[in-house]
Amino acid sequence: MNDAPMSDALSFDNRFVRALPSDPLTTNARRQVPRASYSKVLPTPVAAPKLVAYSQEVAHLLAMDPAFVTSPEFAQTFGGNHVLKGMDPYAMNYAGHQFGHWAGQLGDGRAINLGELKGMDGQQWTLQLKGAGPTPYSRTADGRAVLRSSIREFLCSEAMYHLGVPTTRALSLVVTGDSVVRDMFYDGRAKEEPGAIVCRVAPSFLRFGNFQVHAARQEFDILKQLMDFSIENDFPSLLSSTNSSTPPIYLRWFQEICDRTADLMVHWMRVGFVHGVMNTDNMSILGLTIDYGPYGWIDDYDLDWTPNTTDAESRRYIFGNQAGVAGWNLAQLARAIMPVVNDAESLGAILQTYSSRFKQGHEQMMGAKLGLSSVQSETDSLLFKKLEELLSTYETDMTLFFRLLGKVNPVSALEEQWSILQDSQYGAQAGEKKDWMEWLKGWNARVMQDPVGKLELPRRGLMDATNPKYVLRNYLAQEAIEKAHEGDYAMIGELLEVMHRPYDEQPEFERYFAKRPDWARDKAGCSMLSCSS
């Protein structure tokens, strides 16, 4: 009889730890950490870890035995109480600009990387616990996470993946049995909440800030080491036998980062996602959506909306400003790597390509949302601009509008077309019907000129593949959170199932294809969130 733990089948690697300089101190005390890319630190044990949700898909990707995932050993491991053979936990050292201002060293204050596993796809995947206790980078915080923020991160990671948006993934959600004190809106009304830990999964958790910290400290030898590590492990297609560790490959690496970031911004705008806190330390070097904090989904189309209470005054990270902020963040990364690249002119030229790539990608995306297989920039830009004006002027649900537009027959009577789209409106306003019908006339004419648009089934196929029917609306996540606080975790599993196929009709879940209810308009957790949300 084999009594070996089921986890013994997992073989962990630790490339980051092997390749880069470590913090020489091993005490888990808050401090500045010069000349090191990480600090070794163990998760802090919790009282009673219990698995309440997991992604079967991610577990399979990591070649985890289903029996292991549902075993007590799994909950102990991914609740932070047990370190498996081969794991070598560490917290990353990075800096960053927060809300446009240099913040200095930040680092993984409540995230601990456990190690890497080779997935079924041949990719190396890093496993990271969020909320597993303090690290040397925690500053004055406790390194823990509350259940509400953990549910939001767990669900949104998987929802975004199935929407086709580049993102970190989520393996598991574990409640800890401990309470965590949080002042949700920083108004002096702190209270105890249930604690939880999410296991996040990504090929790499490197951020712009990982490079910024070494540049700011003039640790240019370590900066170069880190750039070489990223190229070798995260961008191996850039390598050749003759040009590794030379300026040309660094420029191609930066170009790839810019391209991926531009594409990510197009995706966010396509599905109506607002990150909420696009600091440089929250920008992935791989162009992934990372760090699901005070994020939100656009219900009524509003380019000026931010879900982040901390950003309510400056409104730096509003929906319509995300592409511009990403460009600004890329410029900060360019400044950080300049001492190694030593070619300001080429870096500047690459930065210019970011804007053009986003503009072109955004145009093509908008065309696809409207059923157009190709875009005529000069004329179609007017159609897009007028649509955005109407969506903003007349409180219109973004997700419902674009999905319902796919059902509209452009050769049918305008009254019939309007009757379909009316379900996406939050309230009738004077002139609304007339303005929408005028826009529909233009859309009808344009779509009938397009080789795909004029054919009903191909047009609807294109639109339905671009416009999701289901997104993780803020009020849905809040409902799941409130049920979980009562000990009922069923809605987490149901939402995970719905968001697994967001472009399919799923008639059994039709109730989730609906406008935001009135009670959610201004409710905490549905309209605005804090960085502790």
Number of domains, the chain: 2
pLDDT at position 532: 56
pLDDT in tens, 19-74: 999 999 999 999 999 999 999 999 999 999 999 999 999 999 999 999 999 999 99
Q: Evaluate whether 344 touches 251 at the Cβ level (below 8 Å).
A: no
Tokens (6 digits) for 309 = 């209470």
Classify the C-alpha dihedral 279-284-290-295 as positive or negative.
positive
473 residue type, one letter: R
pLDDT in tens, 370-405: 999 999 988 999 999 999 999 999 999 999 999 999
Q: 1 pLDDT exceeds 50?
A: no
* Spatial distance between the Cα atoms of 404 and 413, rounded to a whole number of angstroms: 16
* Spatial distance between the Cα atoms of 486 and 474, rounded to a whole number of angstroms: 19
In a domain, 348, yes or no: no
In a domain, 237, yes or no: no
DSSP letter string, 464-532: HHHS-S----HHHHHHHHHHHHTT--HHHHHHHHHTTSTTS--GGGGGGSSPPPGGGSS-TTTS-B-TT
pLDDT at position 528: 75
* Spatial distance between the Cα atoms of 116 and 132, rounded to a whole number of angstroms: 17
pLDDT in tens, 365-376: 999 999 999 999
Q: Evaluate whether 528 touches 307 at the Cβ level (below 8 Å).
A: yes
What's the mean pLDDT in 149-153? Answer: 97
Model pTM score: 0.97
In a domain, 87, yes or no: yes
Q: What angle do CA 150, 477, 269 make, to 5 degrees?
A: 95
What's the mean pLDDT in 334-344? Answer: 97
Closest to 202 (Cα-Cα) out of 161, 262, 255? 161
* Spatial distance between the Cα atoms of 132 and 197, rounded to a whole number of angstroms: 6
pLDDT at position 245: 61
Catalytic residue annotation:
281
Q: 114 pLDDT exceeds 70?
A: yes
In a domain, 185, yes or no: yes
Q: What angle do CA 66, 72, 76 make, to 5 degrees?
A: 110
In a domain, 378, yes or no: yes
Tokens (6 digits) for 281 = 């330390």
In a domain, 11, yes or no: yes
Residue 499 — pLDDT band, cuts 50, 70, 90? very high
Residues 6 or more apart whose Cβ sits within 8 Å of residue 31: 25, 136
Q: 244 pLDDT exceeds 90?
A: no
In terms of C-beta density within 10 A (0-12 exposed, 13-18 middle, 19 or more buried), how is residue 451 classed? exposed
pLDDT in tens, 199-225: 999 999 999 999 999 999 999 999 999
Question: Within the chain, what is the greatest distance between any pair of CA atoms?
Answer: 77
In a domain, 346, yes or no: no
Please identify, among 144, 174, 205, the residue that sits at the C-terminal boundary of a domain.
Answer: 205
Q: Evaluate whether 220 touches 340 at the Cβ level (below 8 Å).
A: yes
For all residues of the chain together, what is the average pLDDT? 95
What's the mean pLDDT in 9-15? Answer: 93
Percent of the chain as helix, strand, coil, to the nearest 5: 45, 15, 40
Q: 533 pLDDT exceeds 70?
A: no
What's the mean pLDDT in 332-348? Answer: 97
Residues 6 or more apart whose Cβ sits within 8 Å of residue 41: 28, 89, 90, 91, 112, 135, 136
pLDDT at position 525: 85
pLDDT in tens, 435-487: 999 999 999 999 999 999 999 999 999 999 999 999 999 999 999 999 999 99
* Spatial distance between the Cα atoms of 112 and 131, rounded to a whole number of angstroms: 8
CA torsion, ordered 148, 153, 156, 161, to nearest 10 deg: -160
In a domain, 414, yes or no: yes
What are the Cα distances from residue 187, in Å, to 159, 183, 184, 525?
31, 7, 8, 15
Closest to 510 (Cα-Cα) out of 468, 461, 464, 470? 470
Host domain of residue 16: 6-205
Residue 184 — pLDDT band, cuts 50, 70, 90? confident
Please identify, among 466, 495, 511, the residue that sits at the C-terminal boundary of a domain.
Answer: 466
* Spatial distance between the Cα atoms of 228 and 223, rounded to a whole number of angstroms: 9
What's the mean pLDDT in 258-282? Answer: 98
